[in-house]
Amino acid sequence: MFKILEKQVHSPVIKQFVVEAPRVAKSCKAGQFIILQINEEGERIPLTIADFDREKGTITIVFQEVGKSTIQLGEMEAGDYIKDFVGPLGEPTHIENVGTVVCVAGGVGIAPVHPIARAFKEAGNHVIGIMGARSKDLLFWEDKMAAACSELHVTTDDGSYVRQGFVTDVLKDIIEEKGKENIPLVVAIGPQPMMRAAANLTKEYDIKTIVSLNALMVDGTGMCGCCRISVGGETKFVCVDGPDFDGHQVNWAELALRQVYFKSEEQLALEYRECTCRNGGAE
């Protein structure tokens, strides 16, 4: 059992937990993820490690409530226990000193970008951070991102905070201003349409771009094949080969189709939960 030490509510649908998991904290690196299971009957939920403290033995996760399991997770409080908290899983982000790295974070993608940006900065890079969300109320960790980056740009789709526009608009402006030859690497994490748009943009400039994929996942060990994707014409598994991949090589159309395979089942599960809760029954 893994104890939730702290809970923070960033918005009605975005929650943050600090979880006591010393073995995970001891060996995790930027870019890796965990899989948790709330209880014996619960779904396995993969979440990228947003922060960690080796001395305290804690892992920070940030998630958005989108379905039955994440809503149930979001209802837990500090002091509650999570049945399983497995990790670190996946390959860590390859960190090296390349000069300048642009880290693009969209929505809840702000959380996984944070440790990656910090690691690149610690390696001696000039890290340009771009973070954005649909509106101001969905933004979080601006202070942590500012500390993890050498410079930070913030944008909102609706213009409710700082600049109006998409993160890709800011990315294009930075490439034009700095010159593509001065930006050897872009890291983009967020909703799939955003990562795809960022990869399409940087491909025009021939700038290497890494994305972190959040494919449907079950066991997290490469055994089930649920998270298989096509990268450069080859089959890869997000859980063991990723989650980081070359954004220019990902088959985005195929990935988008795979992500909606269980949409109807997810909707039924959510509707059943809402009906059960209204009637006062156990889930």
pLDDT value, residue 217: 74
Domain boundaries, the chain: 2-89, 100-258
Tell me the pLDDT of the chain averaged across its residues: 90
The 3-class SS string of 8-75 reads EECCCCEEEEEEECHHHHHHCCCCCEEEEECCCCCCEEEEECCEEECCCCEEEEEEECCCHHHHHHHC
- Lowest mean per-residue pLDDT among 27-31, 197-201, 273-277: 273-277
Q: What is the pLDDT of residues 22-46, one digit of tens each?
A: 999 999 999 999 999 999 888 889 9
Mean pLDDT within 14-29: 97
For residue 120, give every residue at least 6 positions away whose Cβ sits within 8 Å of its Cβ, in sequence order, or none: 95, 101, 103, 127, 187
Share of the chain above pLDDT 70, in %: 91
Q: What is the pLDDT of residues 139-175, one digit of tens each?
A: 999 999 999 999 999 999 999 988 999 999 999 999 9
2-89 placed in CATH 3.40.50.150: no
Q: What is the pLDDT of residues 90-146, one digit of tens each?
A: 999 999 999 999 999 999 999 999 999 999 999 999 999 999 999 999 999 999 999
Peptide bond into 243 cis (omega under 30): yes
CATH-assigned architecture of domain 100-258 = 3-Layer(aba) Sandwich (3.40)
Q: What is the pLDDT of residues 225-236, one digit of tens each?
A: 778 889 999 999
- What does the alpha-carbon distance between residue 246 and residue 234 come to, in Å, rounded to a whole number? 12
**Pair of tokens at residue 102:** 């642009």
Q: Which residues are annotated as a binding site for [2Fe-2S] cluster?
A: 224, 227, 239
HSE-CB for 232 with a 13 A CA cutoff? 5
Q: Which residues are annotated as a binding site for FAD?
A: 62-64
Closest CA to 93 of 229, 208, 245, 252: 245
Beta-carbon count within 10 A of 41 CB: 8
Closest CA to 110 of 176, 181, 187: 187
- What does the alpha-carbon distance between residue 136 and residue 81 come to, in Å, rounded to a whole number? 31
pLDDT value, residue 277: 60
- H or E element that contains 241: helix 238-241
Mean pLDDT within 271-281: 59
Same fold, 2-89 and 100-258: no
pLDDT value, residue 269: 53
Q: What is the pLDDT of residues 215-225, one digit of tens each?
A: 777 777 777 77
Place of tokens 């993608």: 109
pLDDT value, residue 52: 96
Q: Which residues are annotated as a binding site?
A: 62-64, 224, 227, 239
